Structure 1
Amino acid sequence: MARPPAATLPTDHAPARRSFTPRAAAGVALAALLMLALTVAVLRMVERTAHREATAAVTQRALTAAQFNVATLRRDLEKHRALPFVLAQDPDVKTALATADPQRLAALNGKLEALAAGTGASVIYAVDRRGLTVASSNWRGPDSFVGENYAFRPYYQGAMAGGAAEHFALGTISRRPGLYLSHRLDDAGGQPLGVVVVKVEFPGLEEDWAHLAEPVFVTNSDGVVLLTSEPGWRFRSMVPLGEAAAEQLRRSLQFGDGTFAPLPIRPFSAATGGAPARKPPASGEEVRADVPGHPAGDSYLHVALPVPSTHWTFHLLAPSRDERTGIAARMQAQALVVLLLAYIAIASAIYVRRRLRRHNAQQAAIRAELTARVQARTAELQAANDQLRAEMEERRQAELRLHAAQEELVQANKLTFLGQIAAGVAHEINQPVAAIRSYADNAGSYLERGEADGARSSLARIGALTERIGAITGQLRAFARKGSGAREPTPVDDAIEGALLLLGPRLRTQPVALVRSGDKGLRVQAERLRLEQVLVNLLQNALDAVAGRDDARIDIATHADHADGANGGDDARVRIEIADNGPGIAPEIAERLFTPFSTSKPEGMGLGLVISRDIVAEFGGTLDTRPRSGGNGGSGSGAIFTITLNSAP
């Protein structure tokens, strides 16, 4: 609308000019103070919220990293724990300790040297009943343990008293820290012959930790640092130790001449350079620490997890300052934008209201002019509002695209998982389908010869196998739902017979000597159908391994292993061993034998052993393999697969 010329307005209706009065100035000042106070309050509230969000995010990442590293440490420990027990049963070790024959001891030196090189153990040595080392894997080196007396060591005393012991200490000769695993050897009369000791060091693990962004370390029950990514923290303590406790540790020589100085970790409320904490920080607590390569007194989130099967605790210090600063800056920026928009809207509303109030008091002509100005201002505000809506719509579209990308990623993960399940189903069904084909051929042959009973028998077996296929797919569907079948007492002999029945056509067409031995009538905690699947898989692999051999042989042995005073209880175990005299497993295949899609067969899928190990693990057991040395089945070296399960009454 065109604005009327100013000359047409009546002079007696001209609006009076208002000066900026002290009252108006006071109102503006009060409004500015209120806005400033509101802004400060909102920013502080946002900062606290950002602190909580950053703490939660860092805690989640730190817990995930800590759980992974604890699992890695536990895997290294469990890998070496069985070695002392196995050596304690070795007749060569017992004979050498019992006779002290120099030739046997010399042979034992070489055996321990080869075993240490093969297992990655630092040192393996045998100590007689007096504590004197008579054989050692490092017998060639200048730091040989042969001739050293370790009767004062707790791992020797603990093994002689209780049969087995573990002790982390600094080597008296090598001056390198490590975990000593010991086991006592007894003669036929139950009298102790000595102790076999395996020392495990962790240089590779600590080197991997040194590349992590977060400082990590492991402490014992006294709070002394045993393993760490920071070399300067070794043998320091979580909190200051009393002089008596420190002196006792120094006299024990467990940690050499360690000073047990407290770690540079303080409560978050303490100032930089303040005194260490008097008690260990709780897991999830924020602390300040002086970490080499990081700002002094920087803030960290402390996460602590126990290491299963030990008295150790794994600690991780996750930096939290950058995360907190980044989240706080982002949220405060968003809050400032919202506040600015709110202030603009409020100021605009006040301004419009004041203009409208003056418009109502002015003459009609002036009201018309001011109305035009309000309309112009409204148009400007509308344009600004439209621009804001456009920006909001653009942000919403960006969020939709992000959500769509996340959905596509989730769908890709689902498809990958379903592909693996489909491959597993195809692999598990392949065996009964092959058996159905063989029985169908047999039924046809019986019909051609007029042998109706034989044909009915083959068809009945085909029906049973189709039911088995349905059961297999049902079990795999249950596995896809992360479920598991009910475990119950299962006869081992029946499961073996069922597996042999499934492989009957191939056993009749492939010349192979099948030998069964060991204990009969054993029962295990398992599910028969899935146990049969594992046995069929292992027997199928054995048949493939001996194919084409004139002296082909497969041995199936079952043994009951009972712990002291717990026969038939939770400690009783049953071993099922399947051995062949084939060419054995190549070292490069053995390293990744239980890795999905890893196989040496041109037509293989590399899933059978992975699925079998998962099934046995669900039963609470283990599936392992080892080379077959010697044996009774011909010239091949072969391989032995061992299933170990809990015994059932």
Structure 2
Amino acid sequence: MKPTRSLLTSGLALLACVFVGALAYRWSLDAQLSGQQRAASQRLAFAAQSLESLLQRNEALPALLALNSRTNLALQRPDPQNLQAANAYLASAVALADVDTAYVMNTEGLTLAASNWNQPSSFVGQNYRFRPYFEAAMQGRIGRFFGVGVTTGKAGYFMASALPPEAPAPGVVAVKISLDAFEAALADGGDTVLLADREGVVFVSTERAWRYRTLAPLPAEVRTRLQGVQQYGNHPLTPLHAEASLPADGDTLRLQQAGHLRDFSVAARSVGPLGWQMLLLADQRPARQEALVAGLAGGLCAALVLGLALLRRLDRLGRAERAASAERLREAHGMLEVQIAQRTREITAANAALEDRVRDLQQAEQIVRGTRDTAVQAGKLAVLGQMAAGMSHELNQPLAALQTLSDNAIALHQRQRGDDVAENLRLISQLAGRMGRIVRQLKSFVRKEPPALSPCSVREALDHALLLLAPRCQAVDAQIAVADFDEALCVLADATRLEQVLVNLLRNGLDAVQHQAVREVRFAVQVQADGRVLLRVADTGRGMDPEVQTHLFEPFYTTKAGEGLGLGLAVSRIIVEGMGGTLAASNLPEGGAEFTVRLPRAAGVAAQGKAAHPATQDLP
């Protein structure tokens, strides 16, 4: 019930804020548009007065020019001398009156003299009988007309008067006034102003794209009449908008401006003797933006008032709730003290139990560490046991040779063959040195020492492993092929344990190939860009079954029935991971298995090993 009521209250409050904001927006928009309309009407009145003044100032100019004797002589006797005098007079009159052009026409509408007689667009020789201003002047009225000049292509306001009846010859004097300066002054004022004729054709506009457009679609008969007098030349006179009626003062007009549809408040008034309509369009965007701000402010004020009311109510409820909470707090305080005392006793007991548990874990860790070292040593001894027969054979051969050579040396000495005795003694020394190296390597391999990571030469560790595995290679008639690598390459490892890993992996490879047609184990080294070194041991055996791969590194798991304890790979992984590396196994596409040891490369230098080795070393 309470959540539903709370949602209803929140919804009503939101609706109230929206309603107040909408009222504020509507009131502000009406006020802004009304003020905008008044200001636009005032500016429009000023612009209309300026135009009226411009037109009235030159209203009498054609009649004044018609009174001049040179104008009359040009009509009475149009010889070159009189026409030139009329041209000069009209040019000076145009310059003084600051109008565009003045010209004299006979009763047929043919221009005899003009102020622009010496220009390429001269009116002289042109016939303007079809123009309405000429017809009005011939009827004794003042001719007024705005249109695009058929000769110059420039728009202007034309005024014409007939010569007085007492003149020696009839004719018409016309003056053309350009509204370009007036239009430029309107544009400089910053307002959007249009001047349209009685049919709604815009011929003066501060927006150039709206010039010679219509405020409403033109009827066919009006369009025909305009084309007949060539009032607006070849302009298509397309509508600015689709409304059928001309806009009036106070209307809102939607027009395309700068690629956007915009709403304008229209201020309109009639101007000039031809029934022109001057419109000042005020963009409603500022008014709407201010109204929107007012609406938002009204909505926010309503929200603030409602928020203050809600805050006051919540404050009353809060004080009541705090009083009730204080009472409940006093009751809970007594219960809490009892629970704290009980909990303290439980925590103390738990802390003592935790300390005992930590001690047990520390002891277990020591046991695990010792078990791991024992497993490593057991792995060494297991490998040593598997190599015992081969090493016995390796030592028995030199011992038998030593006995034979020593007996021969005694016999040769008795015969006083000193050179042969020296040769036998040299051979005895070599055999004794070989047996010493084998025994030292066995002692180093089985020595139980704590691991110590230091720069370790890969070459030396491999050579020691190959020495230990030489009897096994002979026993299975296999070879270990060592690919060329950097002799000075070192890894961060324990030398003895790295040697044990290599012995385990190489021996496993020899066991895997002993029954194959091709019995070869390959050793290769790869240095990665991240500073890691890969030691790869691959064989030409049958590879590993999926079941074997699953249990490969488990202790006491072996595929060699009756051979080994199944500790070799498990111990090797423990050793490699203890040195900060990884040990992985995979099957090769061409057959056989590959084991990869990944260790960090050492920046230091290991103890000096052998001076040089061939690119590939094969052990039979």
Query: TM-score under structure 1 normalisation?
Result: 0.48
Larger-gyration structure (1/2): 2
